[in-house]
Chains A and B, each alone.
Chain A
Amino acid sequence: MRKYVVALGAVALVAGMVSGAEAADKIKACFVYTGPHNDGGWSQQHDMARLEVEKHFAGKVETAYVENVPEGPDAERAIERFARSGCNVIFTTSFGFMDPTIKVAKKFPDVKFEHDAGYKTADNVSIYNMRWYEGRYVQGQIAAKMSKTGVAGYIVSFPIPEVVMGIDAFMLGAQSVNPDFKIKVVWVNTWFDPGKEADAAKALIDQGADIIVQHTDSPAAMQIAEERGLHAFGQSADMSKFGPKAHLASLVDNWTPYYIERVQAVLDGTWKSTDTWDGMKEGLVVLGPLTNMPDDVKALAEDSIAKIKAGELQVFKGPITKQDGSVGVADGAVADDKTLLGLNWYVKGIDDKLPQ
């Protein structure tokens, strides 16, 4: 037993010396997924970016992944296993991996960690996420233009700031076109459950919604919209193939630019702990393809995308009124990131009570 401990220590020491070197010739980038790598949504988009990284750095970067990792102790073990197996940088791609990432990072100061969607950082832990709300705003505009009933149905997972931010941004976009636009909301309490998502879509349609938007991962709602001859927006990945006639615009996660930049930094020995929250301008949030809409709607969407990229259009710019009539964002002001990351109120006009 003691021999083992000594041997392990020696290995760790050597590994530490190697990974501590300034610029590396060949590195290993590792990815931890919460779902299957081919889930058709969230994890798949991360995995596509992983493959792009491998292609981009041909021969210089080796990658590996673990999939279906439950949050909690299993996540900690999976991340630690990667850290031990010689990964130089580890991307943990679910907000529930936050505390496990921080815990393992403490034990392996020479390994770089990148956590998606959390808020805790350390000297060797960066965080990164996307400003999806920019895409949501444009979706809202498209919805208000395309809807005949003036009601959109919104399928949502959990009342965390990220999700509330999306609903609010969608509503602000819709109201910029039609001030009387209505949103109905169904909470399904899951990120992925095709059955529940389909039921939610049906219920929303029966209540008069003719456009479906979702903050869940499966294409079920898109398929229901296709069956009923209505419209829907895709989530995470391009879902146009699930609703050839129904699909309007998918909110696509494109992690590639970020992953290439960060892996490059590790290769160059210039990696530093950072807090990244990028959107359309940096090419992370992509709204596309724009399908099944008249030219004027498409032109409006493209114009808004261009303005967001140029920084001319701020989604959370006042005046914004909260659901209860009080001031959310004052006239002329723009909500700062801290406000957005803790967002827990609806804008006026949303037909739902936010679960607290």
Chain B
Amino acid sequence: MRIVLERRLTPSRSMQYLSPLLAIVLSLVTFFIIFVLSGIDPLKALYIYFVEPLTAVWSIEDLLVKAVPIILIAIGLAFCYQSAVWNIGAEGQLAAGALAGSIIPVMFPLLQGPAVITAMILMGIAGGMAYAAIPAILKIRFNANETLTTLMLVYVANLFLDYMARGPWRDPAGFNFPNSRPFDEGQMLPIIAGDSVRISIVFMLVAVVVAWFLTTKTMTGFKIRVLGLSPRAGSFGGFSRNKMVMLTFLISGGLAGLAGICEVAGPIGQLRTTVSPGYGFTAIIVAFLGRLHPFGILIAGLLLALSYMGGEGAQVAIGLSDQTTQVFQGMLLFYVLACDSFIYYRLKFVRERALDAATAG
């Protein structure tokens, strides 16, 4: 007996949408078993993880605040991945956006007000775009593998950010601590709801809707998808692969840069040596979990933000390790990929002899 994976002739369409749900259910079941095995009341733990964060206003607010940068970035990444451009460097593009957007508040602290904030946001987007243009040009001109270049550029951006926060942009009144001066209220995104929900949530929602319109209703979205599925077919159709590479990089870089400036001119309120706890990488999970579809990404982003919040709550309430959250997120990605494999392939049990015959034939 041997087990082989056989390609399905017609992958099920409905399963493509169901697979993330299935993955979530499987993750929850696995989680349940892990809790039972480690002697924790599983229902209580799951409640603390996934329900309790939704039972208080402040906690829902925090959840939204956490989800905004992740979703913004994932929306951009979805454009790249649909056209088979593997940009995994959103973390660096986020840092570039944070840096570019901080030029005004750090160097000209007296400039404040709505016009200044608008300028900061635009500079943040431009910073992320410019930084994403580097791997795009490298790919177009020299055919450099973007998986490598984007990842390497993350380190470059983070080290440069680190240098700026410790060196030239260090707060002169900050006892040599590696932060920029704290931004003033007139240099931060306005709060539009509750204690902490800023206008960046509107940007996020707009990005979701615009992305949905672009991908499903326009020629550009069609070109992106065709070139992703089959570059040859795309070129027969007269679509320029290079233009699409540049376009998708600019979109995802711009959105990552926007997320970066929204973080520093929002929840963080100053430039620090690190401005993201890995949103650029979490967004990769979110993009795939959301099927590269804007609405799917919206839901997936909220779910991952929920797992962060629940993880913190579980640490405080039942002393569960912080690693549990990472286990959950890892499991989720694993199950999505596993389910996806079964959409395209089926398991087949083959007898040795039949297999030999098959390979011989």
Contact = CB atoms under 8 A, between A and B. Distances in A.
B322 to A, nearest CB: 4
Given A77-B62, A342-B176, A66 B316 contact: yes
Contact of A72 (B56, B178, B274): B274
Interface string A327-351: 0000000000000011010000000
A64 B318 CA distance: 9
A84 interface: yes
Contact of B175 (A68, A81, A342): A342
Contact of B57 (A8, A64, A70, A99): A8
Contact of B322 (A36, A73, A80, A95): A36
Interface in B45-88: 56-58, 62, 65-66
A207 interface: no
B166 A70 contact: no
Contact of B277 (A64, A72, A98, A355): A72
A73 B268 CA distance: 6
Interface stretch (A14-22, A154-162, A285-293, A297-305): A154-162
Given A64-B316, A67-B322, A1 B270 contact: no
A344 B176 contact: yes
A119 interface: yes
A148 to B, nearest CB: 35
B57 A1 contact: yes
B274 A4 contact: no
A73 B175 contact: no
B313 interface: yes
Given A4-B56, A76-B267, A160-B177, A71 B316 contact: no
Interface in A58-110: 64-68, 70-74, 76-78, 80-82, 84-85, 95-96, 98-99
Contacts of B267: 72-73, 76
Contact of B316 (A85, A118, A160): A85
B92 interface: no
A119 B174 CA distance: 9
A8 B57 CA distance: 9
A172 B260 CA distance: 44
A34 to B, nearest CB: 11
Interface in B265-281: 267-270, 272, 274-275, 277
A12 B127 CA distance: 43
Contacts of A1: 57
Contacts of B319: 64
A189 B315 contact: no
A310 interface: no
A96 to B, nearest CB: 7
Assign chain B's interface to a size class: 20 to 34
Contact of A67 (B66, B166, B272, B321): B321
A95 B274 contact: no
Contacts of A77: 62, 66, 312
A259 B270 CA distance: 31
A4 B54 CA distance: 12
Contact of B312 (A5, A30, A81, A96): A81
B120 to A, nearest CB: 18
B322 A8 contact: no
B328 to A, nearest CB: 14
A161 B176 contact: yes
B57 A5 contact: yes
A76 B312 CA distance: 12
B177 A70 contact: no
Nearest to B269: A99
Contact of A95 (B167, B177, B182): B177
B263 interface: yes
Contacts of A341: 175
B315 A66 contact: yes
Contact of A81 (B159, B272, B316): B316
A65 B317 CA distance: 10
A341 B159 CA distance: 26
B162 interface: yes
Contact of A189 (B57, B62, B162): B162
Contacts of B162: 189
A270 interface: no
A8 B56 contact: yes
Nearest to A159: B166
A160 B277 CA distance: 22
A67 B313 CA distance: 12
A326 interface: no
Contacts of A159: 166, 176
Interface in A118-134: 118-119
B313 A81 contact: yes
* Most chain A beta-carbon neighbours within 10 Å: one of B176, B274, B313: B176
Interface in A1-53: 1, 4-5, 8, 30, 36
Nearest to A118: B177
B312 A99 contact: no
B270 A99 contact: yes
A169 B76 CA distance: 51
B322 A68 contact: yes
Contacts of B62: 77
B274 A70 contact: yes
11 contacts: A30-B316, A36-B322, A70-B274, A72-B263, A77-B312, A81-B312, A85-B316, A99-B270, A158-B178, A161-B175, A342-B176
Nearest 4 Cβ contacts at the A-B interface = A73-B267, A70-B277, A68-B322, A66-B315
Given A342-B175, A356-B167, 15 more contacts: A1-B57, A5-B57, A66-B315, A68-B322, A71-B274, A72-B272, A72-B275, A72-B277, A73-B66, A80-B58, A84-B58, A99-B182, A119-B175, A159-B176, A355-B166
